Structure 1
């Protein structure tokens, strides 16, 4: 049985270009060149339209040409619904697809896909919702738009038929507050050992991680623990 490690950089946007560079360089050192995915936001919080940034489009295309998998990651990443408990305390208002109806979800998926695919010159690998949150209607929209792969916090699946391709929680880090930093360091420490039996493990990093040395050190440790006996794989390998 092939044992795999999947790694991804979330919130890839011109808004976070320097942070994405640092994360890509770090993952390259651990995994080998371009053995990870990028989750691209077409217009992060309406402040960084990818369609207007030709130099960043060219960078994305070079990464894609080198083998980086490119996923659509929402449209703006921001949740426009009235703030509730989940928005305030779990996602900092970033669960964009957590409340959308079918029509609005399909519109954002179509628009976002067009922007990213125009930038990279090829189809996206799939769709992953911001904060890994989907309304039931958004799940239907992802299927109806024909995305090859999707992911939430606990699994990777094929939207066309719902087949689950990998199970287990994503190891990720949070930098928004000291409490979240501590809790994510604690979970990563446990997961580096506790998720060893899984055939596929997933690691996800965010631009904010680069501002907290302890989080970067935890990433290094986690990858060093999980990689022996595994290949640095691509999501497409699951399908």
Structure 2
């Protein structure tokens, strides 16, 4: 397999239009064009309904027409479920109330996936590239719904897979940054720095950015250095290239 770099911008929607524009410009410059994916949220925290944002819809169509892969990234991006056991730990420590699909039943997860897919595909005029749960967190209900959803691709922190078959298409950690505390900023910058030197043997390298990253200049610098280091040694590709055939 040819080594690939898969770049993505999370939490895309009208709530973070300015931040998404900034990140899209940065990645386009480093990667030599719009060679990245966007993860689109239908109504971020019930405060920014994409269905009513006609100007942002036009932007999404333009990006999609230019070759940007468009993934469904949940509906609300907000976790409103009660959790116990391992899910409770994930909800507290792996995200700040953003793991929407961690505690949903199969029926509710299936409806949100289907509604998000229909909305995004109506906007861009082509199939969605896949589904990626907010914060990369999936509960049992979400995984069951995803297998029947018709999405071609899905990913979590450590893998990309084909939901209909369960076939794993790529393995390895995703490099990302956390902006919500000084400690998380430092630890994510430290990991990115290590990854720039240690992870080049990885076949598929995934690097993801979020709107909140734009609020911390040190994170933007780390993002610049990390994408540049990997892009110098492998081409930026498409998630769809991982699919069989």
TM-score (norm 2): 0.95
Matched residues in 2 for 1:82 and 1:179: separation? 27
Matched, 1:196 2:200: yes
Matched residues in 2 for 1:72 and 1:215: separation? 25
Q: Is the 8 A contact 2:7 2:37 kept in 1?
A: yes
Q: Residue 201 of structure 1 aligns to a residue in which SS?
A: strand
178, 182, 190: which one aligns with 2:182: 178
TM-score (norm 1): 0.97
Q: Residue 98 of structure 1 aligns to a residue in which SS?
A: coil
Matched residues in 1 for 2:8 and 2:231: separation? 15
Q: CA deviation at 1:195?
A: 1.2
Runs of 4+ in 1 over 4 A off after TM superposition: none
CA RMSD between the two structures: 1.0
Unaligned runs of 5+ residues in structure 2 are none
TM-superposition CA deviations, 1:99-145 (whole Å, max 9, x none): 11110100111111111111111110000000000012211211101
- Name the residue aligned to 2:65: 65
Unaligned runs of 5+ residues in structure 1 are none
Matched residues in 1 for 2:128 and 2:193: separation? 32
* Residue correspondences, number: 239
- Name the residue aligned to 2:46: 46
Q: Residue 86 of structure 1 aligns to a residue in which SS?
A: helix
Q: Is the 8 A contact 2:9 2:39 kept in 1?
A: yes
Q: CA deviation at 1:47?
A: 0.3
TM-superposition CA deviations, 1:196-230 (whole Å, max 9, x none): 11111000000000010110100111112212231
